[in-house]
């Protein structure tokens, strides 16, 4: 309930924030929407010595249509993503996913950058980010670099972001309407026991799965099984979806055994593919 | 309807007068109380379920600037007495329950030390700086294993894990019933452990006035008066120098019907440190160190004849009490035995209860306390018997209902049900549910391969607690009504509402009976300096018992007012008529006297009849002659997702009979909330300790409370069968929802799975459990 | 869920004798245990340690003891450990067996880990994954330590 003492810094620019990260190293922690960090600090599971609040940095909150892709500032809230006409029209998977996150209060404060950087294994966005094959911009003392979604999630709560880098922008491609996110909620927290995000396009099917393993992953077995099939039969979809948890070590806890998580991954993958196709 | 004198308030769905201050954030909860020089206490709690405490080093904690005191059990226990248990069970073995742990900890969350500092952050830092050496001991976590000899002991000094073995039995000879049976139906049923989880956790502010020698304790409690009775024996402050205040209380559900170590501890700290001390429970502490509910496991046997006639029920039930006895811990399972026959004529019953200590938090009264347990058991058993005998489950229930004319109805457990019309509630519920259509819809859904089910439960429960001879410390209630000199009305009640809305309902019937406007009435409660006596709020007693005391006061005031009016009319009281707030003496005078004039005369007191005391105030103790027994029928339709095990409630109908309704809106709210508790209990809520006694549901991230989206549209109806045992005819409704709903929902889920041959699922019927049950009985195609 | 039985397998590029020696070398252990700040011998095969462990920003400080027993060089040993800190406690044991795998050594670690207090109450969903990650980090570091020695 009462966090340990910490220093509070509120940089005005990304460069200032990066400088603070460089100066304080492992002692510093970035505060975005605060919906993972602050509860952890209140429980004293996290005790950063310096909290760097990037909430006042201007120009980190936007959704821009840049032609083939839509660029989203890291500090864009879940609600802003859900409410974005540009995304609804051009890349509707992300708004559909945002709607599944937490509750209204969480969606009003939580940010896409914060969620991705925290990389909770049961967060919703990672499934969509993987299925969209998004690009993520990181800014550090060595400048800006871009990481593909597939290389972004490294392990439990661990991403490609270096300790002195800040996630600044996410770029998702414009897609067809044939996308969907289907999730089974952990009843208490609302996080995903298994969430499947699907993008179906001319180049095939991409499936991102969250909640099932220590990190979100691409269900490549499902993708390969559907390769080349523009209108797969229900049986083909079910057969393909059965590969949704291939090669991963499913998590088990009081809310779902590993077997149930794997099963839900299959069911939700099948349903997400069916739903995406129904939107054609 | 306009608010004019004489237009009845009772029976109207009035919005609650409490709500504006709650909605606007203007209410004062314990944590809102700020006093000059206030210190803050934070408690260090055991991470072990069972351990010997070795060295405790508090030196680093005491050295932190701002820390005022860091104290352990050795420092405070002698001055704080023992946490009381008020339940009288013969041959009860009870551990000494000190406010902080002594040389051992017995559950995760057990209070080990307290740090007091000038702000809560510093106190919290101090807790982190305390170094405790624990020597872990085997934890007792499975109550059924714990009763076997040779198993580790929760309390080695008690020599056994069995706190008591108690038999609740009645009616005809149980063995004879089973000898005469054509068949014995057996079934094992469990109630999982639940966390009451009021939205406001507990909290205490204690302030000592050394000049007066008085102690004031603000605490988030349901029972300020019982605390004022019980705390003096713990902390040594005499009852008449102790003021207990329950300010705004954000829900209790039984969890705040208790005397907790922190209440005595904060009182002691305030006296010891000569400064006010505040302790506010965190959510995690609330999950670990505030009582839990239910946790009963029973093997049930029903003796039946071929035609479905039930001759008797017997059971041995193991109740997991946790590690300590809180106020009513051992009594709760015995309440289950009392009402185990439900609303049925069942000639013989015997329930053997084994209360078992385990290394967990204590269980105690949780919404419905004992009766939801019983209702779930009997209503599941009715379905099991009906299925095994191939009898319609509704017919089986009807066959065992007493007829309305048979009330008062004596049960084999020794209760006398006050009034009832169980057939009436069942009929109305079936009408509201469109029962025949429901059956057709289910048949169509099943034909289409869907898992569709209908559940029903008919229940009766015990409310209006209760006659003093049946209660541990008096079941009466006190009240006071004062017609002020300004003709405003002050009502003071000894019950302690914390969400039940009695500031509204009491004002409604007081307004009607006195002939005043509701807006001229204020209802006070929850402060022992204001409401001198009371037995507080639990067991659906507030209005039936507390309201009855108020009715007695009104009658006294009106009688006195008539005497005064007669004097002013220069006649005798038997000529005075009182109606709609006006006194008249037809045939004597045309003069009318209203309350403003009469109250003025009563207090100015220049013209009182000889022997009449000034003032217009009356107080009363009301002693209930019996409990009341609300009843009803709940009908639920569900659909189960074959692939995910998810249960969707597609229809919910409840018909509850709580007697006459003062405020249907509040009745509906109580029923809705109660059903929500049951949706949680049946479908997802559970308090989980692992086999080492670690609490795994320590936050709302892991303990699944029902949310708005889990609640279906309710179709609520009622029948009205007044109770003959109190002047309002009221039965009570605070717990009815959760008593009727749990078995109805469970029966619906099992009905949905019946075509697959599933006959039982443990609570909660989580998606994974449902999926497992489906999976073991069907060969699902991969990925389906 | 807060009592875990984990079986972890790793192959490290050194023969069994060297791996075994590394596993009972306080300096090597200090360098390989994730977040290990101190690792001091307190007696034959008993150690005291201070660790700052966790995953990502969720780190806690623990002080603890470790003891090595049932040493069967170069085949097996058992490591017992217990630690306590702000977030709760960790205790358990790991039975480690070494077998030759070409020029390398296959390490099989059967660990029995019990976690209590705050981490059990609020972090149970992450505990097992975190434990696996920490163990993986340890073996990765051990591998790199042994291959460096080799060079």
Mutate to test the interface with A, among C125, C127, C130 (most CBs of A within 10 A): C125
* Phi, psi angles (nearest 5°) of residue B354: -110, 110
Min Cα separation C21/chain A (Å): 30
Does B746 map to a domain? yes
Does B178 map to a domain? no
Min Cα separation A13/chain C (Å): 23
Nearest to A187 among B688, B699, B704 (CB): B704
Does B50 map to a domain? yes
Does A1 map to a domain? no
Residue B784: is its pLDDT beyond 80? no
- Which residues of chain B from 108 to 137 reach within 8 Å of chain C, CB to CB? 108, 128, 134, 136
Tens of pLDDT, residue by residue over B299-339, are 999 999 999 999 999 999 999 999 999 999 999 999 999 99
- In this structure, are A162 and A208 located in the same domain? no
Report how many domains make up chain A.
3
The Cα B190–Cα B594 span in angstroms is 60
Q: How confident is the model at residue B600 (pLDDT cuts 50, 70, 90)?
A: very high
- In this structure, are B652 and B736 located in the same domain? yes
> Which pair of structure tokens corresponds to residue B196?
């009451």
- In this structure, are B41 and B130 located in the same domain? yes
- In this structure, are A70 and A160 located in the same domain? yes
Does B182 map to a domain? no
Does A57 map to a domain? no
Residues of chain B above pLDDT 90, percent: 95
- In this structure, are B582 and B648 located in the same domain? no
Reference B779, options B639, B642, B648; nearest CA is B642
CB distance C56–A251 less than 8 Å?
no
Nearest CA in chain A to C87: A45
By the CB < 8 Å criterion, does B282 face chain C? no
Residue C54 or residue B724, greater confidence: B724
Does B153 map to a domain? no
- In this structure, are B542 and B685 located in the same domain? no
The Cα A44–Cα B514 span in angstroms is 57
* Contact partners, residue A60, CB within 8 Å, separation at least 6: A14, A54, A73, A74, A75, A76, A113, A168
- Chain-wide mean pLDDT for chain C? 87
Nearest to C120 among B128, B695, B701 (CB): B695
Nearest CA in chain B to A269: B783
Tens of pLDDT, residue by residue over B621-657, are 999 999 999 999 999 999 999 999 999 999 999 999 9
Residue B780: is its pLDDT beyond 70? no
Residues B727-743 as b/e (b if ≥16 CB within 10 A, e otherwise) read bbbbbbbbbbbbbbbbb
- In this structure, are A15 and A99 located in the same domain? no
Say which CATH number the domain at A46 has: 3.30.43.10
Q: Coil, strand or helix: which one is B224?
A: helix
Report how many domains make up chain B.
3
Min Cα separation B645/chain A (Å): 10
Domain limit, last residue, from B622, B657, B682: B622
- In this structure, are A83 and A31 located in the same domain? no
Q: Coil, strand or helix: which one is B73?
A: helix
Q: What is the pLDDT of residue C59?
A: 82
Reference B285, options C121, A189, C115, C127; nearest CA is C121
Contacts B771 to A, Cβ<8 Å: 260, 263
Q: What is the pLDDT of residue B779?
A: 58
CB distance A156–C87 less than 8 Å?
no
Neighbouring chains of A at 3+ CB pairs within 8 Å? Answer: B, C
Say which CATH number the domain at B271 has: 3.90.1170.50
> Which pair of structure tokens corresponds to residue A74?
């890291």
Reference B520, options B596, B584, B603; nearest CA is B596
Contacts C1 to A, Cβ<8 Å: 252-254
Mutate to test the interface with B, among A193, A260, A261 (most CBs of B within 10 A): A260
Residue B89: is its pLDDT beyond 80? yes
Mark out chain A residues that contact chain B at CB-CB < 8 A: 1-5, 43-44, 184, 187-189, 238-242, 244, 254-257, 260, 263-264, 266-267, 269-270
- In this structure, are B499 and B423 located in the same domain? no
> Which pair of structure tokens corresponds to residue B674?
């109660």
Tens of pLDDT, residue by residue over B348-399, are 999 999 999 999 999 999 988 889 999 999 999 999 999 999 999 999 999 9
Say which CATH number the domain at B495 has: 3.30.365.10
Does B151 map to a domain? no
- In this structure, are A205 and A267 located in the same domain? yes
Instruction: Find out whether A123 and A33 touch, Cβ atoms under 8 Å.
Output: no
> Which pair of structure tokens corresponds to residue B603?
């207090």
ipTM: 0.96
- In this structure, are B764 and B673 located in the same domain? yes
B196, burial (CB in 10 Å: exposed 0-12, middle 13-18, buried 19+): buried
- In this structure, are B422 and B307 located in the same domain? yes
Min Cα separation C129/chain A (Å): 6
Tell me chain B's radius of gyration from C-alpha atoms: 28
Q: What is the pLDDT of residue B2?
A: 59
pTM of the entire predicted model: 0.95
DSSP E strands: which ranges in chain A? 7-9, 28-31, 50-53, 63-65, 69-73, 135-140, 143-148, 153-155, 158-159, 166-173, 179-185, 192-201, 204-210, 217-218
Instruction: Find out whether B55 and B133 touch, Cβ atoms under 8 Å.
Output: yes
What value does the mean pLDDT take over residues B412-426? 96
Q: What is the pLDDT of residue C61?
A: 86
Instruction: Count A/C contacts: CB-CB distance under 8 Å.
Output: 61
Residue C115: is its pLDDT beyond 90? no
Q: What is the pLDDT of residue C151?
A: 47
Min Cα separation A62/chain B (Å): 31
Tens of pLDDT, residue by residue over B369-383, are 889 999 999 999 999
Q: Which domain holds residue A269?
A: 180-278
Tens of pLDDT, residue by residue over B508-550, are 999 999 999 999 999 999 999 999 999 999 989 999 999 999 9
Does A74 map to a domain? yes
Tens of pLDDT, residue by residue over B149-204, are 999 999 999 999 999 999 999 999 999 999 999 999 999 999 999 999 999 999 99
Nearest to B698 among C84, C89, C121 (CB): C121
- In this structure, are A67 and A169 located in the same domain? yes
Give the lowest-confidence range in A148-157, B225-234, B754-763, C134-143.
C134-143
Q: How confident is the model at residue B783 (pLDDT cuts 50, 70, 90)?
A: very low
Reference B698, options C86, C125, C121; nearest CA is C121
Say which CATH number the domain at A184 has: 3.30.390.50
What value does the mean pLDDT take over residues B467-484? 94
Q: How confident is the model at residue B782 (pLDDT cuts 50, 70, 90)?
A: very low
By the CB < 8 Å criterion, does B695 face chain C? yes
Nearest CA in chain A to B764: A255
- In this structure, are A31 and A95 located in the same domain? no
Instruction: Find out whether C87 and C122 touch, Cβ atoms under 8 Å.
Output: no
Query: A105 forms bridges with which residues in the sheet?
Result: none
- In this structure, are B297 and B277 located in the same domain? no
Instruction: Find out whether B321 and B363 touch, Cβ atoms under 8 Å.
Output: yes
CB distance B690–C125 less than 8 Å?
no
The Cα A48–Cα A53 span in angstroms is 12
What value does the mean pLDDT take over residues B702-712? 94
C105, burial (CB in 10 Å: exposed 0-12, middle 13-18, buried 19+): buried
Neighbouring chains of C at 3+ CB pairs within 8 Å? Answer: A, B
Nearest to A188 among B120, B704, B782 (CB): B704
Does B160 map to a domain? no
Domain limit, last residue, from B574, B603, B622: B622
What CATH topology corresponds to C3-150? Alpha-D-Glucose-1,6-Bisphosphate; Chain A, domain 4 (3.30.530)
Residue A1 or residue B266, greater confidence: B266
- In this structure, are B608 and B652 located in the same domain? no
- In this structure, are B616 and B662 located in the same domain? no
Does B145 map to a domain? no
Tens of pLDDT, residue by residue over B22-66, are 999 999 999 999 999 999 999 999 999 999 999 999 999 999 999
Q: How is B416-435 classified by DSSP, letter by letter? A: EE----HHHHHHHHHHHHTH
CB distance C84–B698 less than 8 Å?
no
CB distance C55–A157 less than 8 Å?
yes
Q: Which domain holds residue B605?
A: 19-25+476-622
CB distance A156–C58 less than 8 Å?
no
Q: What is the pLDDT of residue C118?
A: 85
- In this structure, are A106 and A185 located in the same domain? no
Nearest to B284 among C86, C89, C121 (CB): C121
Which residues of chain A have a pLDDT value below 50?
A: none
- In this structure, are A68 and A145 located in the same domain? yes
- In this structure, are A149 and A92 located in the same domain? yes
- In this structure, are B450 and B322 located in the same domain? yes
Residue A40 CA, distance from chain mean position: 19
Please report, for residues A51, A54, A132, A175, B543, the alpha-carbon distance to residue A6 in angstroms, rounded to integers and kept in the order given: 7, 16, 38, 43, 51
């Amino acid at each position: 309930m009462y966090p340990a003492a910490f220093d509070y810094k509120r940089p005005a620019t990304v460069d200032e924030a990066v400088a603070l990260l460089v100066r304080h190293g492992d002692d510093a922690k970035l505060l975005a929407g605060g919906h993972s960090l602050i509860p952890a600090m209140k429980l004293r599971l996290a005790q950063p010595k310096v909290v760097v609040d990037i909430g006042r940095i201007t120009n980190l909150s936007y959704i821009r249509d840049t032609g083939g892709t839509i660029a989203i500032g890291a500090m864009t809230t879940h609600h802003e993503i859900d409410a974005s006409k540009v995304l609804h029209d051009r890349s509707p998977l992300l708004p559909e996913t945002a709607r599944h996150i937490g509750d209204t209060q969480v969606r009003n404060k939580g940010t896409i950058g914060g969620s991705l950087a925290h990389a909770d294994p049961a967060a919703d966005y990672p499934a969509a980010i993987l299925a969209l094959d998004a690009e993520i911009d990181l800014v550090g003392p060595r400048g800006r670099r871009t990481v593909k979604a597939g290389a972004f999630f490294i392990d439990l709560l661990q991403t490609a972001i270096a300790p002195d880098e800040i996630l600044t922008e996410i770029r998702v491609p414009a897609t067809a309407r044939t996308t969907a996110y289907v999730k089974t909620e952990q009843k208490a927290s609302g996080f995903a026991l298994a969430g499947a995000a699907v993008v179906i396009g001319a180049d095939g099917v991409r499936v991102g799965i969250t909640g099932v393993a220590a990190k979100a992953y691409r269900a490549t077995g499902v993708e390969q099984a559907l390769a080349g099939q523009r209108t797969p039969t229900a049986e083909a979809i079910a057969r393909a979806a059965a590969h949704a948890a291939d090669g991963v070590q499913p998590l088990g806890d009081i809310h779902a055994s590993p077997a149930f998580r794997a099963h839900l991954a299959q069911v939700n993958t099948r349903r997400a593919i069916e739903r995406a196709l129904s939107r054609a | 309807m306009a608010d004019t004198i004489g237009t009845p308030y009772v029976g109207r769905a009035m919005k609650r007068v409490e709500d504006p201050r709650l909605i606007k954030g203007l209410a004062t909860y314990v944590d809102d109380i700020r006093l000059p020089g206030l210190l803050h206490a934070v408690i260090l709690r055991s991470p072990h379920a069972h351990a010997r405490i070795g060295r405790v080093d508090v030196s680093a904690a005491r050295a932190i600037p701002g820390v005022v005191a860091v104290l352990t059990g050795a420092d405070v226990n002698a001055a704080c007495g023992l946490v009381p248990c008020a339940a009288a069970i013969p041959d009860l073995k009870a551990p000494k329950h000190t406010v902080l742990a002594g040389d051992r900890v017995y559950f995760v969350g057990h209070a080990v030390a307290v740090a007091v500092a000038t702000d809560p952050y510093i106190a919290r830092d101090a807790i982190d700086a305390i170094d405790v050496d624990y020597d872990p001991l085997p934890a007792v976590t499975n109550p059924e294993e714990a009763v076997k000899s040779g198993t580790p002991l929760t309390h080695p000094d008690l020599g056994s894990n069995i706190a008591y073995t108690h038999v609740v039995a009645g009616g005809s000879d149980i063995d004879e019933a089973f000898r005469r049976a054509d068949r014995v139906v057996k079934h094992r049923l469990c109630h999982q452990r639940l966390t009451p989880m009021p939205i406001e956790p507990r909290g205490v502010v204690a302030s000592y006035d050394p000049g007066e020698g008085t102690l004031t304790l603000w605490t988030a409690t349901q029972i300020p008066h019982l605390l004022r009775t019980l705390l003096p024996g713990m902390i040594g402050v005499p009852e008449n120098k102790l003021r207990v205040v329950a300010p705004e209380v954000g829900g209790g559900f039984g969890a705040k019907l208790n005397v907790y170590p922190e209440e005595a501890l904060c009182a002691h700290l305030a006296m010891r440190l000569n400064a006010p001390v505040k302790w506010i429970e965190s959510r995690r502490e609330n999950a670990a160190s505030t009582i839990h509910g239910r946790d009963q496991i029973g093997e049930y046997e029903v003796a039946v004849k071929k035609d479905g006639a039930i001759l008797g029920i017997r059971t041995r039930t193991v109740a997991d009490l946790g590690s300590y006895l809180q106020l009513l811990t051992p009594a709760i399972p015995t309440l289950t035995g009392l009402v185990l026959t439900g609303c049925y004529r069942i000639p013989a019953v015997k329930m053997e209860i084994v209360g078992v200590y385990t290394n967990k938090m204590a269980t105690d009264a949780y919404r419905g306390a004992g009766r939801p347990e019983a209702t779930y058991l009997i209503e599941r058993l009715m379905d099991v018997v009906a299925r095994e005998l191939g009898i319609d489950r509704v017919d089986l229930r009807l066959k065992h209902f007493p007829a309305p004319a048979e009330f008062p109805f004596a049960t084999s457990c020794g209760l006398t049900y006050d009034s009832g019309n169980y057939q009436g509630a069942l009929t109305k519920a079936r009408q509201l549910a469109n029962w025949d259509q429901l059956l057709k819809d289910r048949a169509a859904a099943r034909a289409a391969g869907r898992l569709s089910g209908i559940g029903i439960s008919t229940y009766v429960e015990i409310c209006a607690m209760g006659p003093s001879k049946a209660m541990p410390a008096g079941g009466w209630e006190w009240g006071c009504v004062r017609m002020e000199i300004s003709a405003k009305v002050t009502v003071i009640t000894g019950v302690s509402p914390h969400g039940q809305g009695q500031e509204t309902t009491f004002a409604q019937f007081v307004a009607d009976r006195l002939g005043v406007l509701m807006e001229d009435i204020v209802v006070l409660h929850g402060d022992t300096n204001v409401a001198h006596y009371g037995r507080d709020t639990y067991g659906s007693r507030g209005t039936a018992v507390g309201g009855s005391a108020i009715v007695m006061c009104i009658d006294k005031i009106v009688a006195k007012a008539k005497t005064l009016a007669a004097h002013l009319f220069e006649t005798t009281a038997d000529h005075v008529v009182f109606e709609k707030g006006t006194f008249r003496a037809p045939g004597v005078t045309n003069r009318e006297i209203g309350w403003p004039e009469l109250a003025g005369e009563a207090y100015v007191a220049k013209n009182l009849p000889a022997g009449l005391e000034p003032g217009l105030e009356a107080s009363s103790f009301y002693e209930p002659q019996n409990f009341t027994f609300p009843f009803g029928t709940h009908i639920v339709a569900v659909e189960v997702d074959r692939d995910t095990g998810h249960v969707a409630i597609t229809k919910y109908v409840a018909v509850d009979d709580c007697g006459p309704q003062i405020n249907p809106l509040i009745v509906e709210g109580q029923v809705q909330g109660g059903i929500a508790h049951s949706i949680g209990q049946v479908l997802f809520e559970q308090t989980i300790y692992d086999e080492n006694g670690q609490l795994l549901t320590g936050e709302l991230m892991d303990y699944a409370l029902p949310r708005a989206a889990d609640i279906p549209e309710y179709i609520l109806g009622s029948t009205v069968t007044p109770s003959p045992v109190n002047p309002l005819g009221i039965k009570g409704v605070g717990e009815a929802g959760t008593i009727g709903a749990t078995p109805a929902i469970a029966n619906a889920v099992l009905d949905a799975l019946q075509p697959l041959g599933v006959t039982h699922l443990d609570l909660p019927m989580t998606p994974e459990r449902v999926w497992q049950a489906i999976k073991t009985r069907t060969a699902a195609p991969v990925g389906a | 869920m807060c009592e875990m039985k984990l079986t972890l397998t790793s192959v490290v590029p050194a023969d069994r004798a060297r791996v075994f020696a590394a596993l009972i070398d306080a300096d090597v252990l200090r360098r390989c245990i994730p977040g290990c700040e101190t690792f001091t011998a307190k007696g034959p095969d008993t150690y005291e340690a201070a660790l700052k462990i966790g995953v990502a920003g969720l780190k806690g400080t623990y002080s603890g003891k470790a003891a090595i027993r049932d040493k069967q060089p170069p085949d097996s040993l058992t490591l017992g450990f217990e630690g306590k800190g702000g977030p709760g406690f960790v205790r358990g044991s790991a039975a480690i067996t070494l077998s030759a795998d070409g020029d390398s050594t296959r390490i099989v670690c059967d660990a029995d880990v019990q976690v209590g207090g705050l981490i059990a109450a609020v972090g149970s969903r992450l505990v097992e994954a975190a434990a696996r990650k920490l163990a993986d980090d340890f073996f990765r570091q051990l591998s790199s330590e042994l291959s460096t020695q080799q060079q």
